[in-house]
Structure 1
Amino acid sequence: MFKAIGGRHFSFMVFGGAQVLMDLEPLFGILLDWPILHGRTHSFVGATAIGLVAALTGRPLSLPVLRWLRVPHPPFTWTASFLAAFAGTYSHVVLDAIMHADSEPLWPFAPGNPWLSAVSMEILHLGCFASAAVGLAGIGLHALWTRRLRKGTP
């Protein structure tokens, strides 16, 4: 849905990369049997640091990949990279805080997880599915509209 709203001002690749970076901590926690899987990186402070890394590395890494894949892409700006990175990391904090008891989204300013179980897992998953469906529909409608405009049909 972020891509549908942001259009060329939002990079889906950087957004995805930010998600992967966010989940490195839980991955290492699972592999190394840590008691807390969603620690400091799953706070807004941690997400800010990861967002900066994702934004600064995402654009230079994405550009050659897009060229190699021959994906037609409008100019990829730093603004698109930063918006996508922070949308990715901050939304990740919020969604994981709702579903994981070990998350402390407001660390170091407030302990605990005030958003745990704010909605049921079913509602959370349905909301994610609905936002993906709305986003895909928005992108599809935009593509159809753009194609019609290129052909000269309003």
Structure 2
Amino acid sequence: MPFTPLHLGPGLVFKAIGGRHFSFMVFGGAQVLMDIEPLLGIVNGWPSLHGTTHNLAGALLIGTLAGAIGRPVSERVLRWLRIAHAPFTWRASFLAAYAGTFSHIALDALMHADMAPLWPLRDGNAWLGALSLEHLHLACLATALLGGAVLAVRALLARPKSDPRR
């Protein structure tokens, strides 16, 4: 299924590690951009859903696009929603975009036979089935819980001591 929320789990860990140097919004946007090809394939009945975008070359191209549009789009959305945030850098945007696209092909390669994740360096998909679908989904869920917990604890600890909610 395209646009799986499970791909966001590792992104929460990356955000917990990278802090303001990593954009979770750009990471999520990169995930969606990666799955436009499979969505079009489902709609049009293509025999292969994970082709040109689901390999190293596609991830690099889509990551570059996501990084370039991610910063201005994210800044506009955060401003529109009136969400305070740290200064948004191009580095944070591109780091998140490439983490999003390359982690996407790594996760999808474990479960989709129609991929060649290391193309143009290698054909085929040696990663297929290296982890069961159940274990893959549990790992994505576990990373979401871990990253979310770390971010929640950091947010609680960062509150000013005079905050009545503390």
CA distance in 2: counterparts of 1:13 and 1:25, whole angstroms: 20
The 3-state SS of whatever aligns with 2:110 is helix
CA contact (8 A) 2:56 2:120 kept: no
CA distance in 1: counterparts of 2:52 and 2:127, whole angstroms: 16
Tell me what 2:149 maps to.
Answer: 137
Tell me what 2:161 maps to.
Answer: 151
Tell me what 2:23 maps to.
Answer: 11
Shift of 1:42: 0.3
Identity of matched residues, %: 63
Give the partner amino acid of 2:29: G
Residue among 37, 44, 60 paired with 1:48: 60
Tell me what 1:89 maps to.
Answer: 101
Give the partner amino acid of 1:145: L
How many residues were matched structurally?
A: 150
The 3-state SS of whatever aligns with 1:99 is coil
Shift of 1:29: 0.6
CA distance in 2: counterparts of 1:109 and 1:86, whole angstroms: 18
Tell me what 1:118 maps to.
Answer: 130
1:108 aligns with 2:114: no
CA contact (8 A) 1:40 1:107 kept: no
Shift of 1:107: 1.1
CA distance in 2: counterparts of 1:2 and 1:17, whole angstroms: 15
Shift of 1:92: 0.1
Residue among 74, 79, 91 paired with 2:91: 79
1:30 aligns with 2:46: no
CA contact (8 A) 1:2 1:135 kept: yes
Q: Which has the higher helix share?
A: 1
Could you state the TM-score of these two structures normalised by the residue count of structure 2? 0.88
Residues 98-148 of structure 1 deviation map (CA, whole Å, 9 limit, x = unaligned): 01000110112211101001111111011000000000000011111111x
Runs of at least 5 residues in structure 2 that lack an aligned partner in the other structure: 1-12
Deviation >2 Å, runs of 4+: none
Q: RMSD over aligned Cα, in angstroms?
A: 0.9
